[in-house]
């Protein structure tokens, strides 16, 4: 590639980046919920759901898959812009059509998200205008005296191009800074969150729940360490005074609650462990917290559930949906509209201002963040986000156990080795945990105490080992009498099964 062609490719890259920055700056400036890049990434994720996207999630983990989709969208656009730069002066119509097509993809992707506003669309338009103007500004000096294939640009042409490129970078950087400075939506919501005085209990960790085995996950999971799984590329930022929850469908009385309406009600607080259906055997997509909120069964009783209703369709502010068996929301378990977590108002990323917590069900059928709508209905009358993608309609938590100590591949001293971990069977409870060393007999572990059936439990034991490599296997039996199966299954469609095992080396 000659120098002129390289400069045209560079011009294209700068044009692509300029459009992305000004588009996102506009979204920030007008406090919109969705930018074009995250919206396109969301659309690509939905398009590939159940196939390559699921494979990607398993390969890199459910936290990184969305980031990689966003980076992929940016990389594709920058690469396409570099190629379009090399077409300058030869196929101008194709260049314009290509940028309009890219903008159209962004436009459609934004409009498909239910919480998008006109400001998000304005961001798409601003990005397109930036592309059209910047393309002409940056390529003009390279085409003034010769075509792109006539050899190296002379020094004067190169200086003129670099001058325009510098001005463009400065203007775009300024726009980005202005947009970021003006993006006060999240900061305003954070400020409103900090100003709340919910008087929520932090929950004193009960005596005996922790067995003192170093390396076992703490019984209470700190908010900043709690696992995060959702489909939102841009976390909804909802001020408490803007939040509304509509309860409708197969009810006698439709109800709309404001945040003030909700927090005036009688409160419930409880230790509850929640986990993700994507948690593989031995995985860490699980956490235990002290939740404060309001019993959903009381609110549903006020609405008056009509005969024949079997499910509640939950909807998030970002349009995510799930279906929850109505029995799980109306029986004696502490299913709640949660507003606080470990004594603090919910963090934005964990669903502020209101989310659902339902003991005994995986999050994909119950734990909606940024909750704004509850429709009492039947499972036959709707399908939810993950059921559309091959997962089960109902998601009771499966009995599971995990080894935290020793870590897989760890080196220890020979002799007495401490072994420990956690087990869970929310809303059923753990009866016993057993572990096996090197294929020997099953040994019953010591269990920590628990305040109720809805939390995980710590377990521990010891083993005498000699020098060499050793294997530990664990299994749990819940209070229904069920003992974990050794058969390994995938997380799809209703959660993984199998015994967790690790290997360690004794010196």
3-state secondary structure 184-215: CHHHHHHHHHHHCCCCCCCCCCCCCCCCCCCC
| Per-residue model confidence (pLDDT) at position 153 | 47
Sequence spans of domains, the chain: 3-183, 223-389, 400-506
CB 247 within 8 A of CB 257: yes
| Rg of the chain on CA atoms, in Å | 28
Place of tokens 């005994």: 360
- Distance from C-alpha of 276 to C-alpha of 56, rounded to nearest angstrom: 17
What lies within 8 Å, CB to CB, of 104 at 6+ separation is none
**Bridging pattern class, strands 500-506 and 411-412:** parallel
d(CA 140, CA 158): 11
How far the first Cα of the chain sits from its last, in Å, is 59
Q: pLDDT tens, position by position, for the chain (507 residues)?
A: 466 778 888 888 988 888 888 888 888 777 677 788 888 888 888 777 655 555 555 555 555 667 788 888 889 988 998 898 888 877 778 888 999 999 999 999 988 887 777 778 888 999 899 988 988 888 888 776 554 444 444 777 778 888 888 888 888 888 777 666 656 677 788 889 999 989 899 999 999 999 999 999 999 999 999 998 888 766 788 999 999 999 999 999 999 999 999 999 999 999 999 999 999 999 999 999 999 999 999 999 999 999 999 999 999 998 999 999 999 999 999 999 999 999 999 999 999 999 999 999 999 999 999 999 999 999 999 999 999 888 998 899 999 999 999 999 999 999 999 999 999 999 999 999 999 999 999 999 999 999 999 999 999 999 999 999 999 999 999 999 999 999 999 999 999 999 999 999 999
CB atoms closer than 10 angstroms to residue 277: 23
Q: Say what the pLDDT of residue 44 is.
A: 86
Alpha carbon distance 142, 89 (integer Å): 9
Is 400-506 in CATH node 2.60.40.650?
yes
State pTM to two decimals: 0.75
pLDDT of residue 147: 47
Closest residue by Cα to residue 268 from 329, 358, 337:
337
User: Tokens 């494979």 — which residue?
Assistant: 55
Beta strands in 296-391 (DSSP E): 311-316, 321-325, 336-341, 344-345, 355-357, 371-377
Calpha distance 80→63 (Å, rounded): 27
Report residue 133: phi and psi, to 5°: -70, -50
d(CA 193, CA 166): 41
Phi, psi of 467 (to 5 degrees): -65, 140
Give the homologous superfamily in CATH for domain 223-389.
Oxidoreductase, molybdopterin-binding domain (3.90.420.10)
Among 269, 264, 324, 275, smallest CA distance to 300 is for 324
Query: Residues near 6 by Cβ (< 8 Å), separated by ≥ 6?
Result: none
């Amino acid at each position: 590639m000659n120098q002129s062609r390289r400069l045209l490719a560079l011009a294209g890259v700068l044009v692509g980046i300029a459009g992305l920055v000004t588009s996102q700056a506009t979204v920030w400036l007008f406090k919109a919920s969705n930018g074009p890049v995250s919206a396109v990434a969301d659309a690509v994720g939905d398009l590939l759901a159940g196939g390559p996207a699921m494979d990607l999630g398993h390969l890199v983990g459910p936290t990184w898959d969305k980031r990689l989709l966003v980076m992929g969208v940016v990389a594709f656009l920058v690469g396409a812009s570099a190629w379009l730069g090399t077409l300058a002066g030869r196929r101008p119509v194709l260049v314009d059509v290509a940028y309009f097509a890219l903008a159209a993809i962004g436009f459609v992707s934004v409009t498909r998200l239910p919480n998008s506003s006109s400001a998000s669309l304005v961001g798409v338009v601003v990005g397109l205008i930036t592309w059209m103007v910047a393309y002409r500004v940056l390529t003009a000096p390279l085409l003034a005296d010769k075509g792109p294939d006539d050899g190296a640009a002379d020094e004067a042409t190169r200086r003129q191009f670099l001058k325009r490129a510098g001005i463009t970078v400065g203007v775009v950087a300024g726009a980005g800074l202005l947009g970021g400075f003006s993006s006060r939506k999240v900061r305003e919501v954070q400020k409103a969150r900090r100003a709340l005085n919910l008087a929520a209990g932090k929950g004193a960790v009960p005596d005996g729940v922790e067995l003192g085995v170093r390396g076992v996950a703490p019984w209470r999971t700190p908010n900043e360490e709690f696992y995060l799984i959702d489909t939102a590329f841009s976390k909804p930022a909802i001020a408490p005074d803007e939040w509304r929850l509509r309860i409708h469908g197969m009810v006698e009385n439709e109800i709309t609650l404001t945040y003030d309406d909700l927090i005036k009600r009688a409160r419930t607080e409880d230790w509850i462990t929640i986990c993700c259906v994507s948690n593989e055997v031995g995985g860490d997509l699980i956490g235990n917290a002290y939740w404060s909120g309001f019993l959903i069964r009381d609110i549903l009783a006020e609405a008056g559930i009509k005969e024949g209703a079997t499910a509640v369709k939950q909807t998030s502010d970002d349009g995510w949906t799930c279906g929850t068996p109505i029995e799980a929301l109306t029986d004696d378990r502490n299913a709640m509209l949660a507003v606080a977590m470990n004594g603090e108002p919910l963090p934005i990323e964990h669903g502020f201002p209101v989310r659902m917590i339902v003991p005994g069900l995986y999050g994909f059928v119950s734990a909606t963040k940024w909750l704004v709508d509850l429709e009492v209905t039947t499972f036959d009358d709707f399908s939810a986000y993950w059921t559309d993608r091959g997962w089960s309609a109902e998601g009771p938590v499966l009995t599971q156990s995990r080894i935290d100590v020793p870590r897989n591949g760890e080196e220890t001293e020979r002799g007495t080795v401490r072994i420990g971990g956690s087990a869970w069977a929310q809303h059923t409870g753990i009866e016993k945990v057993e572990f096996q060393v090197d294929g020997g007999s099953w040994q019953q572990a010591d269990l920590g105490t628990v305040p109720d059936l809805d939390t995980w439990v710590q377990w521990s034991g010891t083993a005498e080992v000699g020098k060499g490599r050793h294997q530990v296997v664990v299994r749990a039996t819940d209070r229904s009498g069920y003992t974990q199966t050794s058969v390994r299954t995938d997380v799809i469609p209703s959660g993984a099964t199998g015994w967790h095992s690790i290997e360690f080396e004794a010196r």
